[in-house]
């Protein structure tokens, strides 16, 4: 049977099942459980409407929560302790090369089509007056600097600098500070240094290194990290390194996305694990309290929580930008994945942004959210 016939059959099945759901003849959970693989195939082909895709994502999220959280508090705590023990027996970063392949060696030109003017590839912050993605980026960056207690003249180490949104913001707003940024991506280093030169910034250094192998014989006033810790596995060992890089009165700040109570890994177990396979291999979803279990060398000073709604709005803004730049995105993606796969990968990125939006918007932003943590030696 050729692919066209398979698609035709799956479309007919899908709309028949959707009709049965609408008439309450069959339960939604039964539909999605039996149709995951063909639904993903149709979704990647761009043959299902976004509202149907989002409904499927919400079903998978509810399924995740059912398996993640027990009604027994003792069981939940035992699971968390087992999770922490497994972290302690792992390398600092499990599969850094996959993180690069999936995100960080994708050309900057692609992210130009999706992100805002500050190129912030992490949660932004939206208040009642925020009208644009660029404005939400700027507000998040300001809050980050405030929570990290940054000041001009400090020596700052940034772990996992991405496309340089925070690096360049710090270098611009604290011109007498010295900023050392670390990324596992050579293309990110090239981009950031080019931007620093363009903006006549003389206080930026960028190092390309896998965090497993990163060693630095320097001391800093601040170590900061935005959505990098989630790619790491052994937080205890990483925190030991960070403590060694801090001056005696230095502080470590991190911005992480979290689940409100239970940590879990992104692992490819079955067809449900699409996100793990294509976008977050080796990653984890920390629980909001997870950093508190690693205070051997560092101790918590303060924590802040952002509603997941901020990330929901951010991901939807990325999706809107991608849709507005569809033709240019296909051209760029063809240089990475080949012309034959460019449209499929465009749809995969669309699904990824929808999945992010639905996850952080779940339960009105109260289930998954963003945490800011400040530590001292």
Domains and CATH numbers, the chain: 93-376 (3.40.50.150)
Report pTM.
Answer: 0.88
> What is d(CA 251, CA 300) in angstroms, rounded to the nearest whole number?
10
> What is d(CA 145, CA 141) in angstroms, rounded to the nearest whole number?
6
pLDDT band per the 50, 70, 90 thresholds, residue 46: confident
Say if residue 13's pLDDT is above 60: no
State the average pLDDT over residues 43-68.
Answer: 89
> What is d(CA 158, CA 170) in angstroms, rounded to the nearest whole number?
10
pLDDT of residue 21: 43
141-193 confidence digits (pLDDT tens): 999 999 999 999 999 999 999 999 999 999 999 999 999 999 988 899 999 99
Strand partners, 153: none
**Residue that has been written with the tokens 């000041």 in this structure:** 151
Asked if 220 and 345 count as a contact pair (C-beta separation under 8 A), the reply is: no
> What is d(CA 317, CA 23) in angstroms, rounded to the nearest whole number?
34
**Residue that has been written with the tokens 């937080």 in this structure:** 235
Portion of the chain with pLDDT greater than 70, in percent: 85
pLDDT of residue 33: 53
Structure tokens belonging to residue 210: 């896998």
> What is d(CA 352, CA 346) in angstroms, rounded to the nearest whole number?
10
pLDDT band per the 50, 70, 90 thresholds, residue 102: very low
CA distances from 111 to 118, 143, 359 (A): 11, 23, 21
Looking at per-residue pLDDT, the higher value among 97 and 132 belongs to 132
């Amino acid at each position: 049977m050729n692919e066209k016939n398979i698609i035709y059959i799956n479309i007919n099945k899908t709309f028949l099942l959707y009709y049965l759901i609408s008439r309450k003849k069959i339960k939604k959970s039964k539909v999605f459980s039996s149709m995951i693989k063909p639904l993903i195939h149709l979704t990647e082909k761009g043959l299902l409407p976004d509202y149907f895709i989002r409904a499927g994502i919400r079903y998978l999220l509810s399924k995740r929560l059912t398996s993640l959280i027990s009604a027994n508090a003792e069981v939940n705590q035992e699971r968390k302790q087992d999770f922490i023990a497994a972290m302690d027996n792992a390398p600092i970063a499990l599969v850094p090369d996959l993180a690069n392949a999936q995100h960080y060696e994708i050309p900057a030109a692609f992210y130009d089509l999706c992100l805002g003017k500050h190129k912030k590839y992490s949660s932004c912050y939206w208040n009642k007056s925020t009208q644009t993605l660029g404005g939400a980026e700027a507000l998040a960056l300001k809050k980050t600097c405030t929570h990290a207690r940054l000041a001009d003249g400090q020596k700052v180490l940034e772990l996992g600098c991405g496309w340089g949104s925070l690096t360049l913001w710090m270098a611009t707003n604290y011109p007498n500070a010295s900023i050392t940024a670390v990324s596992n991506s050579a293309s990110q280093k090239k981009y950031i240094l080019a931007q620093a030169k363009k903006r006549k910034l003389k206080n930026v250094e960028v190092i390309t290194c896998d965090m497993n192998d990163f060693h630095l014989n320097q001391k800093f006033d601040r170590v900061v990290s935005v959505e990098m810790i989630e790619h790491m596995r052994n937080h205890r060992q990483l925190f030991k390194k960070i403590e060694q890089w801090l001056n005696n009165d230095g502080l470590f700040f991190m911005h992480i996305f979290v689940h409100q109570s239970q940590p879990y890994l992104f692992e490819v177990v079955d067809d449900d694990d699409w996100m793990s396979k294509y976008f977050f291999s080796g990653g984890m979803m920390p629980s909001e309290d997870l950093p508190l279990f690693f205070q051997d060398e560092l101790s918590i000073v303060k924590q802040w929580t952002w509603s997941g709604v901020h990330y929901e709005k951010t991901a939807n803004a990325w999706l809107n930008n991608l849709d507005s730049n569809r033709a240019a995105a296909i051209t760029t993606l063809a240089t990475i994945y080949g012309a034959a796969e460019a449209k499929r990968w465009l749809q995969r990125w669309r699904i990824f942004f929808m999945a992010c939006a639905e996850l952080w918007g779940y339960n009105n932003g109260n289930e998954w959210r963003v945490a800011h943590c400040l530590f001292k030696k």
